Copies of this chain bind each other. A is one copy, B any other.
């Protein structure tokens, strides 16, 4: 942290800042400049709040320097983390773009199985589908619950696809962990710390979606919660952020992908379906995500989207999913 003084600050003002730093047990390092003095703060914990010096007379600004996360950082671990499923059939974080596809919600065995066969044929490696659904209306379909998990297990058995499904709270996580290959933590739960800790104790990889208005520092801190409990198998997921924009439900933040890959060793995937919120933008965004360097895609596909029990309008038809996969292969991306 750096405390920047006003030009008019007196020696007494600087002394007060130094004292407050030392009272906290940290180290103060004044840097006198031509126009003003700045004071470096050393040995403080990463999450120190910059506002704590703002009321001392003569302080102009306080600037955070160190990052609050450690385990997530590439500084801690220079080599990429890769997530391996089964006997190595699927590696997330390697050369291959791993595609996870399926309906928003598991609605029935027939529906799940039909879609699973379609997406497998087109090249998906994982089947996605929610058994527990967080819905913004209390009057909406909330998922099939454990019955949905059983259907997912059958899908894996019959198709060989691996499974990813969401755990909506720490108790649900117990059940989900048993059935799934990857535990998904949703956007609205990115800062549900009890769930994050529970996922940190799981023996399955965790896919963590970025919150709707989370900075990447906050996303990294949420991953740090999981890793600090011992689970280092974390996949980050960009799914669009909330902006002033009206032509799409969210704005896909692809600037985030190179930044995450530079700053962290964790793999990162993109969900173009939630970023768009409307079918006609999903294929172009999926192509863009593949081109920008994501390690995987999470895509909604439904065989009858108009009658889907949730998020139908952003789901691709199976033939569109085929088109998407062919387009990506045409870009020479290994998929």
User: Which A residues are closer than 8 A to B by beta carbons?
Assistant: 2, 4, 6-8, 20, 23-24, 29, 31, 33-36, 38, 40, 42-43, 45-47, 49-55, 60-61, 63, 65-66, 68-69, 75, 78, 134-140, 168-170, 188-189, 191-194, 197, 212-213, 215-218, 221-222, 224-225, 228-229, 240-259, 262, 275-281, 284-285, 287-293, 305-307, 311-314, 330-333
- Chain B residue at minimal CB-CB distance from A48: B313
- Chain B residue at minimal CB-CB distance from A218: B136
- Chain B residue at minimal CB-CB distance from A320: B55
A–B pairs, 13, beta carbons within 8 Å: A4-B65, A53-B313, A139-B228, A240-B255, A241-B245, A248-B256, A254-B284, A254-B288, A262-B280, A285-B292, A287-B292, A288-B292, A331-B332
User: Which residues from chain B contact A138 at a C-beta distance below 8 Å?
Assistant: 193, 197, 221, 224-225, 228-229
- Chain B residue at minimal CB-CB distance from A214: B212
Q: How far apart are the CA atoms of A8 and B77 in the complex, in Å?
A: 11
Q: How far apart are the CA atoms of A293 and B282 in the complex, in Å?
A: 12
User: Which residues from chain B contact A281 at a C-beta distance below 8 Å?
Assistant: 255, 258-259
- Chain B residue at minimal CB-CB distance from A287: B291
Q: Is the CB of B46 within 8 A of A306?
A: no
Q: Is the CB of B241 within 8 A of A251?
A: yes
User: Which residues from chain B contact A197 at a C-beta distance below 8 Å?
Assistant: 138
Q: How far apart are the CA atoms of A259 and B139 in the complex, in Å?
A: 24
Q: Is the CB of A284 within 8 A of B257?
A: yes
Q: How far apart are the CA atoms of A250 and B243 in the complex, in Å?
A: 12
Q: How far apart are the CA atoms of A224 and B65 in the complex, in Å?
A: 29
User: Which residues from chain B contact A313 at a C-beta distance below 8 Å?
Assistant: 49-55
Among B34, B78, B242, B258, contact of A213 (Cβ-Cβ < 8 Å): B242
Q: How far apart are the CA atoms of A222 and B188 in the complex, in Å?
A: 12
User: Which residues from chain B contact A23 at a C-beta distance below 8 Å?
Assistant: 306
User: Which residues from chain B contact A140 at a C-beta distance below 8 Å?
Assistant: 47
Q: Is the CB of A46 within 8 A of B137?
A: yes
User: Which residues from chain B contact A306 at a C-beta distance below 8 Å?
Assistant: 20, 23-24, 52
Q: Is the CB of B243 within 8 A of A258?
A: no
Q: Is the CB of B244 within 8 A of A255?
A: no
Q: How far apart are the CA atoms of A127 and B6 in the complex, in Å?
A: 37
CB-CB under 8 A for A65 and B63, given A6-B75, A221-B136, A228-B138: yes
User: Which residues from chain B contact A33 at a C-beta distance below 8 Å?
Assistant: 40, 42
Q: Is the CB of A68 within 8 A of B137?
A: yes
Q: Is the CB of A47 within 8 A of B312?
A: no
Would you list the 3 A-B pairs with minimal beta carbon distance, nearest first?
A: A51-B313, A213-B213, A291-B291
User: Which residues from chain B contact A52 at a C-beta distance below 8 Å?
Assistant: 305-306, 312-313
Nearest CB in chain B: distance from A128 CB, A? 19
User: Which residues from chain B contact A43 at a C-beta distance below 8 Å?
Assistant: 34
Q: How far apart are the CA atoms of A195 and B281 in the complex, in Å?
A: 33
Which one of A7, A242, A288 has the greatest number of beta carbons of chain B within 10 Å?
A: A288
Among B75, B241, B245, contact of A215 (Cβ-Cβ < 8 Å): B245
Q: Is the CB of A55 within 8 A of B279?
A: yes
Q: How far apart are the CA atoms of A229 and B139 in the complex, in Å?
A: 11
